[in-house]
Amino acid sequence: MAEIMGVDIGGSGIKAAVVDTIKGEIILPRKKIDTPSPSKPEPIAMVVKELAENYNWSGAVGVGFPSVVKNGVCYSAANIHKSWIGANIEDILGKATGCVVKAINDADAAGIAEMRFGAGKGIEKGVVLVLTLGTGIGSAIFVDGHLMPNVEFGHLEMNGKDAEKRASANAKEDKKLSWKEWGRVLNDYLKMVENLIYPDLIILGGGVSSRYDKYQQFLNIRTRIVPAEMLNNAGIIGAALAAE
């Protein structure tokens, strides 16, 4: 059994757990702390330190981070404080925790978990798009089972705004949309994405994946759609897998 601590840093909450990367399972209870506001590097680092101390952790740590991440460095900040841009996530969180840290885009992390243990398990051919619907819209593309990192389809323009301002789960709550109203907006977004990359399968993740029955009937595109199976643990498990 390989044990790695996975951390999922989101716009509203930071979640962590110790993961069995062989089975893709959480083996110590998940802990969540609200994301500091403002979400600058030092406060975020202190939360991750607290989470590591909660597990008395000194091993490897995988972190799913809400930005484009290249070689451990943050390149964007849509749902995190802009002072992160240009900062080395791995160095900052590694120094705070005393652990070796591997950082990856949060949607890529969720996608890795879904492809290895969830709705995409066993799919080795074709194009799979994993979308995480939460504070924003995260996206991960897998071609013949291989990840193409840092795809930002949540920031495609949709009716004059970022798509995630229209079709994310957060947008549904902010605008008090019914499942029908939101489902139709989401369908428009999925049509747009479908016409860009012609995927073979779309996996819908995020918390709303557990409510798929509420909006499934309003989705009508060519591509087969399935709900994610890892639910809110995907980001944690995928981050741990990325740090193997």
CATH number for the domain that contains residue 66 = 3.30.420.40
pLDDT tens-digit series, residues 202-237: 999 988 999 999 999 999 999 999 999 998 899 999
How would DSSP label each residue in 173-189?
Answer: HHTT--HHHHHHHHHHH
pLDDT of residue 43: 97
116 domain residue, yes or no: no
117 domain residue, yes or no: no
pLDDT of residue 1: 56
Q: Looking at the structure, do residues 102 and 129 belong to the same domain, yes or no? A: no
Radius of gyration, CA atoms only, the chain: 17
pLDDT tens-digit series, residues 51-61: 999 999 999 99
pLDDT of residue 135: 86
Q: Looking at the structure, do residues 206 and 138 belong to the same domain, yes or no? A: yes
138 domain residue, yes or no: yes
Q: Looking at the structure, do residues 165 and 218 belong to the same domain, yes or no? A: yes
Instruction: For residue 69, give Cα distances in angstroms to 81, 102, 107, 137.
Output: 15, 10, 11, 16
pLDDT of residue 78: 84
pLDDT tens-digit series, residues 17-67: 999 999 999 998 999 999 999 999 999 999 999 999 999 999 999 999 999
Q: Looking at the structure, do residues 91 and 57 belong to the same domain, yes or no? A: yes
pLDDT of residue 12: 85
Per the structure, the complete domain to which residue 8 belongs is given by 3-108+234-242
Q: How many independent structural domains does the chain possess?
A: 2
Rounded to whole angstroms, how far apart are CA atoms 27 and 36? 26
114 domain residue, yes or no: no
User: Whole-model pTM above 0.85?
Assistant: yes
Q: Looking at the structure, do residues 19 and 103 belong to the same domain, yes or no? A: yes
Is residue 106 scored above 80 in pLDDT?
yes
Q: Looking at the structure, do residues 211 and 171 belong to the same domain, yes or no? A: yes
Q: Looking at the structure, do residues 219 and 136 belong to the same domain, yes or no? A: yes
Mean pLDDT of the chain: 96
Q: Looking at the structure, do residues 127 and 57 belong to the same domain, yes or no? A: no
44 domain residue, yes or no: yes
Q: Looking at the structure, do residues 104 and 52 belong to the same domain, yes or no? A: yes
pLDDT tens-digit series, residues 112-134: 999 999 999 999 999 999 999 99
Which band of pLDDT confidence, cut at 50, 70 and 90, is reported for residue 150?
very high
Q: Looking at the structure, do residues 145 and 88 belong to the same domain, yes or no? A: no
Q: Looking at the structure, do residues 193 and 161 belong to the same domain, yes or no? A: yes
Which residues lie closer than 8 Å to 159 by C-beta, 6 or more apart? 166
